[in-house]
Structure 1
Amino acid sequence: MQHVGSRMLLLGFGLAAATALPVGAAHAVDAAAITTQGNGKGAAPCMACHGVDGGGQASTGNPRLARLDAAYLQKQLDDFAGGARTSPVMQATAMALSDDERAALAAYYSKLPIPPVLMKPVTPMPATDSVGAVLATRGRWDKQVPACVQCHGPSGIGVGAHFPPLAGQPAAYIEAQLKAWQQGTRHNDPLQLMQHLSNALSAQDINAVAGWFAAQPLDAKGATP
């Protein structure tokens, strides 16, 4: 009886430990709650800058996050937290998020649908022979600048974790990032490719190519028609 009792006691301890482990472990992150309320530890609500639907805010140059690649989004949050990207708001927010929270937010935004308003941009489509269109689709090979779409996909729909969508992003955001690479305040691109390309562009070039990508419509999956 004593042997059986000992086994039952050990079994009870084992069950208690097994039950206690999930309670002590980190609960599943509620990414949706963080987007609307913050995390209560210094991270502001994401929707304040990126909209309830993750579509961004063109008027303030805040980018679309909805339907972007999850690995890309997580890398950007990690880079903000680590200093490879600079932004007073985003650095403070990313540093206030745990690793699990950054991963959960990246996954959450990657699954959001494209906001319908982005499927028909209000920005007029630039002419096919405009500076922006030429840089985006043909490049400027005399300055060793390949076409943007060679890395970012047809019409800038994005390719994987390293080449994000440019289509449908606010022109002000694209322009700001090109200038950040040009000025050396952003340096988290593969092989410093964007730093080289941005240095070969004038302010007028940057404005033109940013406008071209902002004018590209999106379909429901994030791809251009």
Structure 2
Amino acid sequence: MIKTMRTALFLFASTVVLNTGVVAAAGDKARGETIATQGNGAGALACVTCHGPKGKGNSAAGFPDIAGLHAGYFGKQLHDYTSGARKNPIMQPFASALSESDIQAVAAYYQSLASPVSAVLQKTPDPDNQGEWLAIRGDWGNDIPACNQCHGPNGMGVGNSFPALSGQHASYLKAQLIAWRTGSRNNDPNQLMKGIAERLSEQQISAITEYYATLPEQLSVQAKAKESR
């Protein structure tokens, strides 16, 4: 069963990566920036109120980093808040006040804020670094696939379904894993995250969320070390 699951996940993630490409978001980025900074004048507050001027969020307050999120994924989350498929007392009224063109515009704008992805060589994970091991190898003894198999190399995100994890606040990532585990969040494809979250231990959740939160710094150090050789 584990071998079958591993093969299926690999083929699925590989197909998604190959079909993602670089697709320009369809929305009006200028309009999106206006909504982000001023609201839409129809009940939706400015995104910067909670997520900050660059979309980097606020870890202490529980607001995620939304800069660079794939427009398709971003748009789906806003639609899910509107329909109630994803529940959040702050986001639900905000999303409900956005028109379809507003959603496309704000999603395009935040996608445009993506940071350059560090190009680093693939490495063998350190067995003593639990977060790194889970990200790259997973824990197949407990049917937990490597996070990067779906979320892409270095957790950079893949297409509409798998958001970037690299640089996201550890507190937010942990809150989402707990939400999937308890069933308070269930808008993931085929309930993949629910099963994984249920099998992760508390220690593993802490390790993997800290790993991704600090990954941009780790990649920067690695890149500088490579340049100095």
Does TM-score exceed 0.5, indicating one fold?
Answer: yes
1:158 paired residue number: 157
Find the counterpart in structure 2 of residue 93 from structure 1. Answer: 94
The match for 2:186 is 187
Is the CA contact (8 Å cut-off) linking 1:61 and 1:171 kept in structure 2? no
The equivalent of 1:206 in structure 2 is 205
CA offset at residue 130 of structure 1?
2.5
Distance 1:107 1:33 in 2: 12
Distance 1:73 1:50 in 2: 14
Query: 1:205, CA displacement in angstroms?
Result: 1.7
Q: Distance in 2 between matches of 1:28 and 1:66?
A: 13
Once residues 97 and 212 of structure 1 are traced to their aligned partners in structure 2, the CA distance between those partners, rounded to angstroms, is: 34
**TM-score, normalisation: structure 2:** 0.74
Mapped to 1, the partners of 2:217 and 2:159 lie a distance apart of: 17
Partner amino acid, structure 2, of 1:173: Y
> What is the TM-score normalised by the length of structure 1?
0.76
Aligned sequence identity (%): 47
Q: Distance in 2 between matches of 1:176 and 1:37?
A: 28
Q: Secondary structure at the match of 2:54?
A: coil
Q: Distance in 1 between the 2:176 and 2:96 partners? A: 21
Look up the SS of the partner of 2:157 in the other structure.
coil
CA contact (8 A) 1:60 1:172 kept: no
2:9 corresponds in structure 1 to none
Amino acid at match of 2:83: G
How many Å separate the matches in 2 of 1:42 and 1:176? 27
Which residue of the partner structure matches residue 13 of structure 2?
none
Q: State the shift of 1:218 in Å.
A: 7.1
**Unaligned stretches of 5+ in structure 2?**
1-27, 119-124, 224-229
- Pair 81,131 (structure 1): closer, same or farther in 2 beyond 3 Å: same
Q: Aligned partner of 1:147: which letter?
A: A
Runs of 4+ more than 4 Å apart: none
- Aligned residue for 2:7? none
Which of the two has higher C-alpha Rg? 1
Residue pair 1:29, 1:100 contacting (<8 A) in 2 also: no
Q: What secondary structure, in the 3-state scheme, does the structure 1 residue paired with 2:190 have?
A: helix
Aligned mates of 2:217, 2:54 — CA distance in 1: 15
1:78-113 residue CA offsets vs partner (Å, 9 max, x unmatched): 111111111111111101111111111111111124
Distance apart, 1:141 and its partner CA: 0.8
Distance change in 2, residues 1:127/1:140 (3 Å):
closer
What is the SS of the residue equivalent to 1:215? helix
Instruction: Quote how far apart the aligned CAs of 1:127 are.
Output: 6.6
CA distance in 1, matches of 2:209, 2:70: 20
Q: Which amino acid aligns with 1:68?
A: L
How far apart, in 2, do the equivalents of 1:159 and 1:62 lie? 22
RMSD after superposition: 2.6
Q: Which runs of 5+ in 1 are unaligned?
A: 1-26, 120-125
